[in-house]
């Protein structure tokens, strides 16, 4: 709704319901307010007045609307199927007043609220640093190792160094079709990116303007010294954003703080020191911190959180200049750029600014093709992860002295892969750098007389958290995989022609991909018609059904997009969609679309689940489900999966794939939690026999695999798209992202 400028112009003030709930979200909107807590919509009954006033409630907004605009705003909310309720009125009396069950339970002067309560002072004691610096410390696991190879692998297996891929893939990294960098880079998707990069969403068009964000924080440094922990958090976030391609001179930051409860003067010294350290870095780098969030409640009995100040650096840049950090090409030189520190471990900010600007310029000119910032685990860990993405090796210069330095913290250190035609002596003539070595075609890391196979490096790096956050499944099938292409000759013209086919896109509660879907269809020459399905009242449902029937009769294509329908409830997110389409009016309209209007249907994610539950896939008509009907269930890996996958076209029987050739391979983004297709052996054989298995997952060598991550959901067969037997439409169950 907020995309509609006619609606946003009605809003005088707006706030989101975060920490503090009604008291803050509404209480901040005007000097004088009268709030009726009984009118606040509740998910759970039984909350008292205090709980209603202060409970945090996500996905809600508080807005101020003029009385004469209220009807317009409420009508707009109804069109978007949003519940809107008047819960308060602005008062001329500058007081915050709340009523609950007819009683006035809050009555506070705004003048008092603006003082933030009673003025308080406290003494702050900054504890002296007594422990040795963590910057030159070789990790214990490395010290105990007898060989360099063992030290290298033990370092990679450390909890703060090892891969977090199985955890990260639980979150959708491609929603909005604006992703520039995936969380894990390279064809093997094993190199963790330095940060986020995504195109700015532009309704009705595209842009290369890209937002980037990178974080910085090291708990070991923060525990040693909150001052240095915060200072280096700012520095690390800046360096990582620059490694993505962002301009250091236009960077902005936000700081997130979390400290133990402030019971003592010494506890007060932790946030005090951290803020001074952050302030030192911000002023030296001449970048502002805009906003942030803090919590001083990180204590439970005798347990306390480390002094935490996490810095996030954000910027906007041309996405064409964004780079990732996996090695790109054998033969490229790799250099190391660091920044000196003084005897107190404080960064030489003058040199750092010069380095950041030089690196940014080199990236923008295409002289650097990959860039990584050295973090926990040192150069050894960074080189390893840069190799794993594309399984390219690395050879250090010979002889390489001071092998132990490869495992120590190297704050603000950069590893840069130079372009093939770039001379680092000329590109960085004003910067001190060290040539580390060369990217190699052999899948191994070589240093002096030690050689580490990348398969061993990958094993050490990925196994630590694999039992908690698995990134792979074992072999999940035993029956022979059907490996057969199906080529059909179908007419590419309909009985009648239309200049711009009309695509009807119904938006059910929780769906969030309608704009992506519409943009893809319109880019192909169609006209998209988005309709929000209203279900807050029986009348709204009835009206929606009538509108949908009319729109289906006027359309050539129906496309049901994905998202989190009905909160992505268990036993299938498409249940509500399927239930609504079983309405006799809608069922008849769909039958007419397919059989009389020569129409097409496409379902993605929740849309596919609905088509499966309706029986439209694979039978071509709405049927009653039985115990043996094909269905979808949870991924065998036990979690949501978000990654890139390679698919091979098996059949072109569907009109959607009529211009493809069986055997062609495509890399696409998928994101789903219920992607496991279950059907009987006989049903699967029939799907293949009728050319209904349009694509199959394949590995990087084009082979049909039996286990994740190549098959991210671990199916009964490595299947993918199912065109129905009438070849009228198609569906995907893996939340295909439309780019």
Mention every residue, 6+ apart, whose C-beta is less than 8 A from residue 176.
Answer: 198, 201, 516
pLDDT tens-place string over residues 320-342: 999 999 999 999 999 999 999 99
Pull the structure tokens for residue 603: 């379902």
Instruction: Measure Cα distances from 16 to 23, 81, 90 in Å.
Output: 11, 19, 17
Strands 393-396 and 444-447: parallel
Report residue 442 as tokens. 């052999």
Sequence spans of domains, the chain:
5-113, 140-463, 502-732
- The two tokens of residue 127 are 């504890």
Whole-Å CA distances, 513 to 80, 559, 675: 15, 11, 17
Band (pLDDT 50/70/90 cuts) for residue 571 is: low
Closest by CA position to 385, among listed 152, 163, 643, 141? 163
Mean pLDDT for the chain overall: 89
**Taking residues 344-364, what's their average pLDDT?**
97
Cβ-Cβ contacts under 8 Å for 344 (sequence gap 6 or more): none
- State mean pLDDT over 693-714: 73
Residue with tokens 């101020």: 64
Predicted TM-score (pTM) of the model is 0.90
Sheet with 600-604: strands ordered across? 527-532, 502-507, 557-560, 600-604, 730-732
What is the Cα–Cα distance from 340 to 640, expressed in whole angstroms? 43
Instruction: Please state the rounded mean pLDDT for residues 628-640.
Output: 84
How many CB atoms sit inside 10 A of residue 143's CB? 12
140-463 classified as CATH 3.30.1330.10? yes
What is the distance between the alpha carbons of residues 186 and 242, in angstroms, rounded to a whole number?
20
Write the pLDDT tens digit of every residue in 242-257.
999 999 999 999 999 9
Q: How much is the average pLDDT of 709-728?
A: 47
Helix, strand, coil share (%) of the chain residues, nearest 5: 30, 25, 45
Quickly state the pLDDT bin for 528 (edges 50, 70, 90): very high
- CATH fold, domain 502-732, is Rossmann fold (3.40.50)
Query: 19 pLDDT exceeds 90?
Result: no
CATH architecture for residues 5-113: Alpha-Beta Complex (3.90)
How high is the pLDDT of residue 229?
Answer: 97
């Amino acid at each position: 709704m907020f995309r509609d400028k006619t609606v946003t112009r009605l809003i005088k003030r707006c706030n989101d319901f975060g920490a503090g709930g009604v008291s803050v979200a509404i209480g901040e909107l005007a000097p004088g307010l009268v709030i009726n807590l009984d009118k606040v919509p509740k998910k759970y009954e039984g909350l008292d007045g205090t709980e209603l006033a202060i409970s945090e409630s996500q996905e809600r907004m508080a807005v101020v609307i003029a009385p004469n605009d209220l009807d317009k705003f409420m009508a707009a909310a109804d069109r978007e199927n949003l519940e809107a309720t008047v819960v308060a009125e602005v008062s001329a009396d500058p007081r915050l007043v709340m009523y609950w069950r007819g009683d006035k339970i809050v009555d506070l002067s705004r003048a008092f609220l603006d003082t933030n309560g009673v003025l308080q002072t406290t003494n702050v004691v900054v504890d002296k640093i007594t422990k040795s610096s963590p910057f030159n410390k070789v990790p214990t696991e490395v010290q105990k190792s007898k060989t360099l190879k063992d030290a290298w692998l033990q370092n990679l297996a450390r909890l703060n160094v090892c891969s977090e891929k199985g955890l990260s893939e639980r979150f959708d990294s491609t929603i909005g079709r604006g992703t520039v960098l995936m969380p894990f880079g390279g064809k093997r998707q094993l190199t963790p990116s330095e940060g986020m990069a995504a195109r700015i969403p532009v309704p009705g068009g595209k842009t290369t303007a890209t937002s980037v964000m990178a974080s910085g924080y090291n708990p070991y440094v923060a525990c040693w010294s909150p001052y240095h922990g915060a200072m280096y958090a700012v520095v690390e976030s800046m360096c990582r954003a620059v490694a993505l391609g962002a301009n250091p001179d236009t960077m902005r930051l936000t700081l997130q703080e979390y400290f133990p409860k402030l019971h003592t003067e010494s506890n007060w010294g932790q946030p005090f020191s951290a803020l001074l350290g952050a302030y030192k870095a911000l002023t030296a780098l001449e970048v502002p911190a805009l906003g942030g969030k803090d919590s001083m409640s990180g204590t439970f009995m005798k347990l306390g959180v480390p002094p935490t100040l996490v810095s996030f650096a954000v910027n906007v840049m041309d996405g064409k200049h964004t780079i990732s950090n996996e090695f790109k090409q054998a033969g490229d030189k790799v250099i190391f750029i660091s920044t000196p520190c003084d005897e107190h471990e404080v960064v030489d900010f003058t040199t750092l600014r010069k380095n950041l600007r030089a690196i940014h310029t080199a990236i923008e000119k295409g002289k650097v093709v990959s860039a990584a910032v050295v973090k926990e685990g040192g150069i050894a860990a960074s080189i390893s992860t840069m190799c794993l993405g594309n399984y390219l090796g690395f050879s250090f210069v010979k002889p390489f002295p001071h092998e132990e330095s490869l495992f120590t913290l190297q704050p603000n250190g950069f590893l840069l892969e130079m372009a093939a035609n770039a001379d680092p002596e000329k590109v960085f003539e004003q910067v001190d750098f060290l040539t580390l070595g060369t990217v190699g075609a052999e899948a191994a890391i070589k240093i002096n007389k030690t050689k580490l196979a990348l398969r061993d490096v990958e094993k050490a790096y990925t196994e630590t958290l694999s039992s908690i956050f698995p990134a792979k499944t074992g072999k999940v099938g035993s029956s022979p995989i059907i490996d057969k292409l199906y080529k059909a000759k179908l007419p590419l013209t309909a009985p009648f022609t239309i200049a711009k086919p009309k695509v009807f896109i119904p938006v059910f509660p929780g769906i969030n991909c309608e704009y992506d879907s519409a943009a893809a269809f319109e880019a192909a020459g169609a006209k998209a018609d988005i309709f929000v399905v209203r279900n807050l009242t029986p009348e709204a449902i009835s009206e929606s059904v009538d509108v949908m029937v009319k729109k289906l009769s006027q359309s050539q294509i129906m496309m049901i997009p994905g998202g989190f329908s009905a909160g992505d409830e268990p036993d299938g997110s498409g249940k509500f969609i399927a239930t609504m389409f079983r309405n006799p009016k809608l069922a008849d309209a769909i039958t007419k679309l397919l059989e009389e209007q020569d129409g097409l249907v496409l379902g993605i994610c929740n849309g596919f689940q609905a088509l499966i539950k309706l029986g439209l896939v694979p039978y071509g008509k709405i049927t009653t489900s039985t115990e043996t009907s094909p269905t979808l269930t949870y991924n065998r890996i036990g979690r949501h999966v978000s990654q890139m996958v390679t698919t091979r076209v098996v059949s072109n029987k569907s009109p959607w794939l009529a211009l493809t050739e069986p055997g062609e391979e495509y890399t696409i983004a998928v994101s789903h939690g219920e992607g496991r297709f279950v059907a009987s052996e006989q049903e699967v054989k029939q799907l293949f026999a009728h050319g209904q298995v349009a694509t199959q997952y394949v590995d990087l060598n084009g082979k049909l695999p039996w286990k994740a991550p190549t098959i991210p959901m671990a199916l009964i067969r490595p299947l993918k798209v199912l065109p129905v037997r009438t070849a009228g439409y198609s569906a995907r169950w893996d939340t295909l992202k439309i780019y």
